[in-house]
Structure 1
Amino acid sequence: MLITEQQTIATYYNALVNREPSYVGTFYVGVKTTSIFCIATCRARKPKRENVEFYSEFKDALDAGYRPCKICKPTENAQAAPKQVEQAIELVKADLKQKVTDQHLREQGIAPEFVRRWFKQHYGMTFQTYQRMFRINSAFEELKKGNTATDTAFNAGFNSLSGFGYTYKQVVGHSPKTQADKQIILISRLTTPIGPMFVCATEKGICLLEFVDRRMLETEFKDLQKRLKAQILMGENAHIKALKQQLESYFNGNLTHFTVPLDTPGTDFQQQVWQCLQTIDYGETASYQQQAQKINNPKAVRAVASANGFNRVAIVIPCHRVIGKDGSLTGYGGGLARKKWLLEHEQRHRVANQ
């Protein structure tokens, strides 16, 4: 939303001039003379008051035609985990047997209230729930290797087998005894030049990559869990780590084709459409009609468009490369501003690499 209240504008401009870190993510400032937008702590030379306008969300700045500043990288740094949150996460990963309490956080100079607010805002869960998911994910991996429930409970930091069994069933949906034929979906968060994203993966491959502000994201999570008969837990596996590396290379303009394995449940027709999407070359576009013709079903234009909309793996399965027959941008789950950005990014780097 464009900020119009004069007192708020004055406050934000003062924060911009003074590079106030407490305002990072609170506003995004568009500089009219350069067509870029920044966060409060940007090191670039400060623009005059009459040459800026303020937005409450980075998507609003993108929609208004501004590009992310290459110095402060607003869509990355405003959404990345603050140092205190990163420290709290490292405490969790360092020793799964040890529950990280408010006291432990304070001993490390970390404000537990700040950590709780950040997790609630950016993950939609409490920090304690985040910890439990990591511990249960570790337990799941141990059980898969054939470890006993007793040893697994102890290694995961539980004081009793009954407490472990109860928590495990609450999180995963079944008891540790029925572990053998079950699977889980791991979820992690990452930042990109056009906003933060969630990535999910099974043992087979990536099953979801979506912007965190996508509408109906919760519905997508529920549908994915139902289709794969698995629960979503916080964590990373080799597929998620590989995708994060490939996405970094993609956004740097150095990668034009993703090789990470995918696990995308859907109908036969959806699978056909998603496979066809991956044949659109980097830096190129195609219409829904052209896609329908490629799959030898020229009358299925609307069905193709619908299948595109059900694609859960953004960017990797490049539905952003599909445009209207007249060349216009059409619907995109991440927003048309992001679609425009992605297309321009690919076209620019394609030319540069030729």
Structure 2
Amino acid sequence: MDAPRPLPPRDEMVAAMLACDAAYEGVFITAVRTTGIYCRPTCTARKPLPRNVDFYPTCAEAAAAGFRPCLRCRPLEAVDAPPAWIAPLLEAVEREPHRAWTQADVRDLGLAPERVRAWFRQHRGSSFSAHVRARRLGLALDRLREGAGLDDVAADTGYASLSGFRDAFRRRYGVPPGRAATPHRAVHRVLATPLGPMLALAEPRGLVLLEFTDRPALPRELHALEARHGYVASEGGHPHLDHVERELAAYFAGELDAFTCPLHAPGTPFDRAVWDALRAVPHGGTTTYGELAGRIGRPTAARAVAAANGRNRLAIVIPCHRVIGRDGQLVGYGGGLPRKARLLALERSVRDRRDDAPSRQLALC
């Protein structure tokens, strides 16, 4: 049986609860003794008095203590995971992305258009029709980059006129479709994890970005991918996104200690050398900036290594969370130190369980 997961200091958890700090998603659960309800740290319900709150590492432990889940923040559901009721519509759009979806089509799936519209506004920041348009234009960009003719792409994408297609394409990507060979399309998806939602971007060469959506540097990273590396992003399906989604689920379940999803990480030769060295740090292990500098043959470049570490856009799969201070203390992490501590604790528990397995087998012999 795994050892109980350590919690942050109580004062820290109280402050995170009062601030609805998303960096503590998956780190602790709040349980209110006066109501008998347990919640996420980010629950938007009226905050209880701290003296009435207990903290637990997991929902299961809060439930075992007699608390029931909050109906507002739904702590048993993954953050930002699409609810089951809208899944048939999302799957239908993926099957027929070029279809001109109407309200009647939505009703035929047993859904209320008003409810669908509200969900997309709240969780995707756009209407359902805008989501479908973006999906179609993303596929159009792919076809244009492959050399398909403009007239054929416009017709196949469902536009009645070439001028309408040109206008929609320019609004979406900032360039006319005749220059579509310049940008690289990256497909994005929000992935639900126990530590909060992560934004993933992929292109044919591999996964380009994987970051917690509340990371302060995320807008800057997205801008750099667009301005320096020529990427335009649109929502949609991609095998690399499916791959990393499966591997993240296995990782958090303690069933995977090495990611195999293809990666494409644009950066300087020095950056890539640091990232390669990070990937060589074993699951369940840690390193320091000085040790990384030595591994790449630049023993005096610890500060430059730290800067390259901070430029890593592929959280978890390029494990910058495994870097600690020379004194063994946790040092900065873009996703927040609570998440870093949780990731290291997860990996240590998997390592310890794996290391204990041979001794248990010997004991049974």
TM-score bracket for the superposition, by shorter chain length: 0.7 to 0.9
The code of the aligned residue for 1:247 comes to L
Q: What is the aligned length?
A: 323
State the shift of 1:235 in Å.
1.5
How far does the alpha carbon of each residue in 1:307-335 deviate from its partner, in whole angstroms, 9 at most, with x for none? 11111000010000001111111111111
Structure 1 residue 13 and structure 2 residue 35: aligned?
Answer: yes
Q: Is the 8 A contact 2:275 2:309 kept in 1?
A: yes
Structure 1 residue 2 and structure 2 residue 3: aligned?
Answer: no
Which has the higher mean CA deviation after the structures are superposed, 123-132 or 260-269? 123-132
Q: Distance in 2 between matches of 1:194 and 1:48?
A: 21
Q: Is the 8 A contact 2:159 2:165 kept in 1?
A: yes
How far does the alpha carbon of each residue in 1:28-78 deviate from its partner, in whole angstroms, 9 at most, with x for none? 999977723549xx99457369xx9x9x99xxxxxxxxxxxxxx864x534
* 1:1-354 superposed matches below 5 A: 1-2=16-17, 13=35, 16=37, 26=44, 35-38=56-59, 44=63, 47=66, 74=76, 76-102=77-103, 104-180=105-181, 182-354=183-355
State the shift of 1:206 in Å.
0.9
* Larger RCO of the pair (alpha carbons < 8 Å, separation 6+): 2
Which stretches in structure 1 are left out of the alignment for 5+ residues?
58-71
Q: Distance in 1 between matches of 2:101 and 2:44?
A: 28
Q: Matched residues, percent identical?
A: 36
Q: Is the 8 A contact 1:91 1:100 kept in 2?
A: no
Q: Secondary structure at the match of 1:207?
A: strand
Q: Is the 8 A contact 1:227 1:265 kept in 2?
A: no
1:66 paired residue number:
none
State the shift of 1:251 in Å.
1.6
Which has the higher mean CA deviation after the structures are superposed, 199-208 or 239-248? 239-248
Q: Secondary structure at the match of 1:218?
A: helix
State the shift of 1:180 in Å.
4.0
Q: Secondary structure at the match of 1:296?
A: coil
Change (3 A) 1:3 1:268: closer
State the shift of 1:163 in Å.
0.8
The code of the aligned residue for 1:196 comes to P
Q: Secondary structure at the match of 1:96?
A: coil
Q: Is the 8 A contact 2:207 2:261 kept in 1?
A: yes
State the shift of 1:259 in Å.
1.9
How far does the alpha carbon of each residue in 1:204-244 deviate from its partner, in whole angstroms, 9 at most, with x for none? 11110001111132221111112221211112322222211
How far does the alpha carbon of each residue in 1:137-181 deviate from its partner, in whole angstroms, 9 at most, with x for none? 222233344433222222222111111121122223333333345
Which stretches in structure 2 are left out of the alignment for 5+ residues?
1-15, 20-30, 356-365
How far does the alpha carbon of each residue in 1:175-208 deviate from its partner, in whole angstroms, 9 at most, with x for none? 3333345421111111111111110012211110
Q: Secondary structure at the match of 1:2?
A: helix
Q: Normalising to structure 1: TM-score of the pair? A: 0.79
2:3 paired residue number:
none
Computed over aligned residues only, the root mean square deviation of the Cα atoms, in angstroms, reads 3.5
